[in-house]
Homo-oligomer: A and B are copies of this chain.
């Protein structure tokens, strides 16, 4: 069970400081989508160079040109790249093809997938590594929680591991750990904590 820290709102220097202070707690460092939009692959290259033992996930949320866009991320050093579950099968397969060529991994982000069980079964046949249930940031205010979706995915996957993202915090981590997932993604609860490093270490203690 890995802890993935989604870094969306910190500066590059703040991220580096966090990773230095939490060695051993953060298994996967996520270059969040806003970070990619602002700086492209610069943070991916920086993290991989400074922290070769931490996996780097590029949250590119690929929606088209799967092979071409994934190649860019893997060539920059990403260990894991995200593709959207709502994208065309051909796009997901292109990302998988790129990952296999590079010896890296694919996470499918199931954000806004309507037919979750059915789509999970389809995606699970495509050679992806992680299927991530994800409550959108923009809908977290409604109180929606990714735990129910995680249960759906866990009940149907046969090949990939599950992952979970979207508002996960100290108050909800134990129920998620109990349900089980290959990767647990925590963003705001770490980035917006008074002491992000202490929070990352505390959350890591709850993982199995």
Q: Give the interface of A toward B (CB within 8 A).
A: 8, 33-34, 36-42, 58, 60-61, 63-66, 68-69, 72-73, 76, 84, 86-88, 90-91, 94, 111-112, 136-139
Contacts and interface: CB of A to CB of B under 8 A. Distances in A.
Given A36-B36, A40-B40, A63-B84, 16 more contacts: A33-B63, A33-B65, A34-B69, A36-B37, A37-B60, A37-B69, A38-B72, A38-B76, A40-B42, A61-B61, A64-B136, A65-B137, A66-B138, A87-B112, A88-B112, A91-B138
A87 to B, nearest CB: 6
Contacts of A64: 33, 61, 111, 136-138
Contacts of A87: 112, 136
Contacts of A40: 36-40, 42
A41 B68 CA distance: 19
Oligomer: number of copies: 2
B63 A63 contact: yes
Contact of A41 (B37, B88, B94, B136): B37
A94 B69 CA distance: 26
A84 B94 CA distance: 20
A84 B34 CA distance: 15
A87 B111 CA distance: 8
Contacts of A91: 136, 138
A84 B73 CA distance: 21
Contact of A138 (B61, B65, B137, B138): B65
Given A91-B136, A91-B138, A138-B88, A65 B34 contact: yes
